[in-house]
Chains A and B, each alone.
Chain A
Amino acid sequence: MEPKIRITKLRDIPQEAVMINGLPDVGLVGVIALSHIIASLKMEEVAQIDSDLFPPIAVLHKGIPHAPMRIYCHGSLLGLISEVVIPASAVYPLAESIADWVTENKVKLVVSIGGMAEPNRQDIEKPKVGAIASDEETLKKLVDKGIQVLSEGYIVGPYAMIMRKCAEIGVPAVTLLAQSFFNYPDPEAAAMAVLELKKLLDLDINVEELIARGEEIRLRARDIMRRTQEELKRMEKGHEFATPPMYV
């Protein structure tokens, strides 16, 4: 049977790389952060991801159509970004395919960047970033690097499944979640997530430009935010506000 998600290689993929995920989620934090990283490092497109489960969309960049979900590369850094909302029905097969691809290409660390909806975000000047890890050893590394760990709660959506799949296949994975608006694009939260990422990886990226262009980014990202919001409701993203019932 043909896989539901197809990852097509366009160029050679470096082995033992670190992969950063920026998928549409709360505040579009991951998409904004990874777009900034891709532009700052001038990363090149190395693979595209397609599926019958995605809307039939091609994204035009400089007159050339591209798959809306793509993988970029710079040195031993990979970046998986999506310019379309991931339908709730595609979350499981996407996580499976990413896990297979990560294994096949011997990716050594998967880092997902996202938002953590904060009802009082408007009153917070500098959003905090929390992290979760797929295993004890990676968790310890986060603590050693001074990254705040989120110990209890729920995460919902593609990152939840990517983390679980990575834990299953034994590939270290981290998700960085910045306090953000739920349904407004949040470039400041993205900037804070990038700063936290720099504690984890050796990246030569500054976030001043990202913050300076914040209003423009918010205006540009309105439509994808609107569609993301609809899909997040379908994924029951509001579950993240809930407190976990277990205490052991």
Chain B
Amino acid sequence: MEERRRSLFDIVREYIEAFEEYVDQVMSRSFLERPSWDASSSSIEPLSNVEVTPSDVIITADLPFAKPDTIEVNIVGDNLVEIKAEMRRRVRFDDFGVRHFSGEFSRFHTQIRTPVCLEPRITAMDFKAGVLRVRIPRRFPRL
């Protein structure tokens, strides 16, 4: 069978895709190893999860000690959501028996990248049992 000749565009696209995949791998490895706290901004990165449904993206974040009235969720990019919240009490490494780090934390802060594009609006948000749940519609390309 005759193999279709690839165009220069195909070759460049494949090269870019392979490079992006490599960058993703390297970045995910380095993200895994960085601390989940930042003493300079007194912030802790919460655990979070992204679920993609056929129509929406549902983001959850575990925010123990968060003050409900301080929770802020902002869609800051096509596929980037920022979550911020103040904590009811300050937490120190000392509280966990850790003496070799110093720092005091009073807020949560994270930016969560979603695998699909988002509409710039939140359709539902609740905070129950210390877990934040946000529903954002997916944005589909116009045909």
Contact = CB atoms under 8 A, between A and B. Distances in A.
Nearest to A225: B47
Interface in A26-52: none
Contacts of A185: 62
B43 interface: no
Q: Does more than half of chain A's interface fall in helix, strand or loop, or is it mixed?
A: helix
A16 interface: no
Contact of B47 (A183, A216, A220): A183
Interface stretch (B12-20, B72-80, B113-121, B126-134): B126-134
Given A222-B47, A223-B36, A122 B65 contact: no
Interface in A207-242: 214-216, 218-220, 222-223, 225-226, 230
Given A222-B47, A226-B47, A216 B131 contact: no
Q: Does more than half of chain B's interface fall in helix, strand or loop, or is it mixed?
A: mixed
Size category of the B interface is 10 to 19
Size category of the A interface is 10 to 19
Contacts of A184: 47, 49, 60, 62, 131
A181 B64 CA distance: 14
A218 B130 contact: yes
A215 B130 contact: yes
Given A184-B62, A215-B64, A219-B44, A226 B36 contact: yes
B112 interface: no
Contacts of B95: 216
Interface in A112-138: 122-123
B64 A218 contact: yes
A216 B64 contact: yes
Interface of B: 32, 36, 44, 46-47, 49, 60, 62, 64-65, 91, 95-96, 128-131, 133
12 contacts: A122-B60, A122-B131, A181-B131, A184-B49, A184-B60, A184-B62, A215-B64, A215-B65, A216-B95, A219-B64, A219-B65, A222-B46
